[in-house]
Structure 1
């Protein structure tokens, strides 16, 4: 994993458990497998499982040649596309991911964003700061609230499904767009499947949870954004590339739409971007995913998988190569 990641991911409890499971030095972290230092090279030659996380170096054919006993990779994060190569799948290496664990904080952030958007919290806070006097808020916020509002979820991904689950206790109508979702699965999820255009036109809040793929670039463009009702809110915790930034900005500057953006394109907006100052935009620096104490959930998930492997059991959350073409 990348420099500094292990220190944030693993606490003393994890090191104790890892050492017991692996019977090895749990503090040996490899940042470079193409030209590893002697201690890493020796460990790699004997390794049966690799525990990886963000910043993991690519597992190329030459790296695998130096790891003849390698049988599995347990990834303590979401996507494995950044470090797994075709050579891994050709070798038949078993792979597990903590994507399900990482989906939880993203879904929780999204739930909070949806409830606050319908309550018009951003608008109220900005107005309150400016007025600083008594005001008829019931009149101004007559259309606000979360009762019988409609939320459109784009993508029946792990995160999208978790968002749907978290929305169940609320009196909200949920629309879902996913080209791979059939009617039976939509019924099981308790959502109404609709085309993307219908979702945009019929939702008070649109939240994006599709994977970043060539086919999903600018999934929400000028047409889709124009279909969203006046006063609607766009929530994006997926990837900035899924929304056409050039089409979104005029909608936000005009005040017709609001947005909660945890991801943007570019990833860091330029210093003079209006996104930093617009009162109808909540801009956060890609914090919806696991951070702080939530990293320990990823570690717990990964070590649970390692324990399953050590016990001769299949992974609870395997990654299958045939699914990579339509996953994050």
Structure 2
């Protein structure tokens, strides 16, 4: 695919849901975007089959996409003969960048690196909070209105020399490892694509999957959901976890066997923090809702509120680089899709 001519202002359009555009692209971001591109007038394109959409697509060099973008399939690409690049203002591009895009050589960038930051921060917070049993102690304190005898705290409580297992050195997994460095914990890593030398560069120890679950006080799951990882964390692994160990999942719900997790948590053997489930909202009668050992949050670890500005900022910097002919700093490669969320 031909690189843009330096100094040439690309024609761009927004393709995402109106809600996503309103959340991620504030007035300042839209002004900055318009300074870089000839931006097609609003509203955003959330249906690429309409007459208006086809008129806009006929002239675009660049699509700025976000949550709710329809698939960019062969039919859409036929309507967009000039399209050369897609810049995604969120993380995964799997939902809209199709094989037709790769076949045509369209360049793709994603704000996944920016979205990894709040997920890793959430994970670090949960590792430290669960290590101190803050959530359970706060619940008991509210019920009893009595300060517990802190000198009788079990030696299993606390974060000094705690062992944290990180499942997958993904963008988020690597960021979690980085955030854990100032803390006095041992970090184990399981990632079949990272050898011992690569793990040493990250400052962690590479171990097998079974050893990760057996040895860790906390296991944090960061593997993408792929055919090979669906149900990866099954009953056998969960049953080998240390008593009172914590399982944190900010990846995808289907990576875990939720029935096995519910059994272990309801039995009081382990604890869990789940920011993602399968389905995304569990049925009302699911046992995990009733489990005091499990904290359920509604997929809030990723970018929200003022963190959306970080997504927009990364996307804008990528557009500026591409328009100047420098190329993307955060490209998404077809050959890497098997390793990405």
**In structure 1, what is the Cα distance between the partners aligned to 2:147 and 2:172?**
41
What is the match of residue 50 of structure 2? 36
What is the match of residue 138 of structure 1? 151
Q: Give 3-state SS (helix, strand or coil) of 1:220's partner.
A: coil
What is the match of residue 339 of structure 2? 326
**In structure 2, what is the Cα distance between the partners aligned to 1:122 and 1:251?**
19
Q: Give 3-state SS (helix, strand or coil) of 2:187's partner.
A: strand
**In structure 2, what is the Cα distance between the partners aligned to 1:310 and 1:286?**
34
1:217 matches 2:230? yes
The one of 31, 39, 44 aligned to 1:16: 31
Give the conservation status (yes or no) of the 8 Å contact 1:260–1:282.
yes
The one of 45, 65, 83 aligned to 1:70: 83
What is the match of residue 180 of structure 1? 193
Cα deviation, residue 183, structure 1: 1.7
**In structure 2, what is the Cα distance between the partners aligned to 1:174 and 1:249?**
26
**In structure 2, what is the Cα distance between the partners aligned to 1:319 and 1:7?**
25
1:193 matches 2:203? no
**In structure 2, what is the Cα distance between the partners aligned to 1:278 and 1:315?**
45
Question: Which 5+ residue runs of structure 2 have no aligned equivalent?
Answer: 1-15
**In structure 2, what is the Cα distance between the partners aligned to 1:249 and 1:236?**
14
Cα deviation, residue 265, structure 1: 1.7
What is the match of residue 96 of structure 1? 109
Give the conservation status (yes or no) of the 8 Å contact 1:19–1:26.
no
**In structure 2, what is the Cα distance between the partners aligned to 1:76 and 1:169?**
31
Counterparts in 2 of 1:12 and 1:3: CA distance versus 1, 3 Å: closer
**In structure 2, what is the Cα distance between the partners aligned to 1:24 and 1:246?**
49
Cα deviation, residue 26, structure 1: 5.4
The one of 243, 261, 268 aligned to 1:248: 261
Give the conservation status (yes or no) of the 8 Å contact 2:40–2:56.
no
Q: CA RMSD, aligned part only? A: 1.2
Cα deviation, residue 184, structure 1: 1.7
What is the match of residue 309 of structure 1? 322
TM-score after normalising by structure 1: 0.97
Question: Which 5+ residue runs of structure 1 have no aligned equivalent?
Answer: none
Cα deviation, residue 41, structure 1: 2.2
1:110 matches 2:123? yes
Structure 1 residues 20-46: Cα deviation after superposition (integer angstroms, max 9, x where no partner): 11123453410011x1232x3222111
